[in-house]
Amino acid sequence: MAEIVYPPVIALARTLFKVMDYRFHMEGTEHVPRTGGAVLVSNHISYLDFIFAGFGALPSKRLVRFMAKQDVFDHKISGPLMRGMKHIPVDRGAGAGSYATSLRMLKAGEVVGVFAEATISRSFTVKEIKNGAIRMAQATNVPLIPVALWGSQRLWTKGRSKQLTQRHVPITILVGEPMHPKRGENVNEHTATLQTRLTELVDRAQRTYPEIPQGVWWQPAHLGGTAPTPEEAAAMDAEEAELRAKKD
């Protein structure tokens, strides 16, 4: 694929990272293959996660094509950028098309990024994940790579105003060892394994983070923060989905 948009966007992001003095800690980036297709699965805590998850693939010189909701592509500013970087639009009402596009990209040797929780986790813990990433890896015989992000929620997340002018924010990116689900193997078992692997990675990212204050909104409840519990977050998500359904 000819790359006209992605490289300058990365260069701009690197410059902004330096200006804002984000304190990156990355581990396991060698697990991202330098060639061939792969499914990269990240937890989802921020509207900026595709930037930081993709950043974790750069040491292997890979560009990640993320699956993202159609609304992002419809926006007059983000839409042209997303299309230029060859990300994959996902229409909630017609997901088969985006799934087929992802398979084509994987077979062509691309890295496809997936947020398997589907939406941002308000509790900052790993929600129940969908099995689409496993099915994609099985169908194309490519590795699946779990990625844990932590710190990005402090910049911009659901239900909070943007804090993009914050400087010196630590950002943790942990890349786990690849999984190799094969065609014909039990999808549910692999999905459960991915859930466990991703949860463990996120927990390690949280517990080794340079700042672990008590009583702050961006810290999960089980670590002393004031974020909603998983149960409270699920109820909030259900209420939001109900309101969206009424509008539709």
Contact assessment for residue 190 and residue 179, using Cβ atoms and an 8 Å cutoff: yes
- The string of pLDDT tens digits covering residues 170-199 is 999 999 999 999 999 999 999 999 999 999
- The string of pLDDT tens digits covering residues 16-70 is 999 999 999 999 999 999 999 999 999 999 999 999 999 999 999 999 999 999 9
Contact assessment for residue 144 and residue 33, using Cβ atoms and an 8 Å cutoff: no
**Residue 116, Cβ neighbours under 10 Å: how many?**
25
Say if residue 95's pLDDT is above 80. Answer: no
Q: Are strands 111-114 and 64-69 parallel, antiparallel or unpaired?
A: parallel
Q: What is the CATH number of domain 5-214?
A: 3.40.1130.10
Say if residue 2's pLDDT is above 90. Answer: no
Q: What is the share, in percent, of the chain residues with pLDDT greater than 90?
A: 92
Say if residue 94's pLDDT is above 80. Answer: no
C-alpha 211: how far from its chain's center?
22
Say if residue 146's pLDDT is above 70. Answer: yes
Contact assessment for residue 194 and residue 115, using Cβ atoms and an 8 Å cutoff: no
Please state the pTM of the whole predicted model. 0.95
Instruction: Please provide the average confidence, as pLDDT, over all residues in the chain.
Output: 96
Say if residue 1's pLDDT is above 60. Answer: no
Domain boundaries, the chain: 5-214
How far is the C-alpha of 58 from the C-alpha of 213, rounded, in Å? 31
